[in-house]
Amino acid sequence: MTSSFIVKKPSRIKALFFLMTTVLMIYAGLDHQIRTKLKGNKKSITNSMKKQTDNPNNR
């Protein structure tokens, strides 16, 4: 019911697409920045599998 209300107008579909694209671009940029800083400083963090890594993925 709610989903049909949100995407009823083409302008809302475009706005939702724009919002999702923007968020994914920000996410990718932050991910790249984290990886670059970790490799540049030769540091590592613990990933979700409890292992040290300098190349994390945010999944």
Task: Tell whether pTM > 0.85.
Answer: no
Full DSSP string of 5-48: HHTSSHHHHHHHHHHHHHHHHHHHHHHHHHHHHHHHTT--EE-T
Determine the pLDDT at residue 1: 46
Q: What residues does each domain of the chain span?
A: 2-45
Which one has a higher pLDDT value, 57 or 27?
27
Question: Which are the contacts of 7, defined by CB distance < 8 A and separation ≥ 6?
Answer: 13, 16
Model confidence at 13: pLDDT above 90: no
pLDDT tens-place string over residues 39-51: 888 888 887 788 8
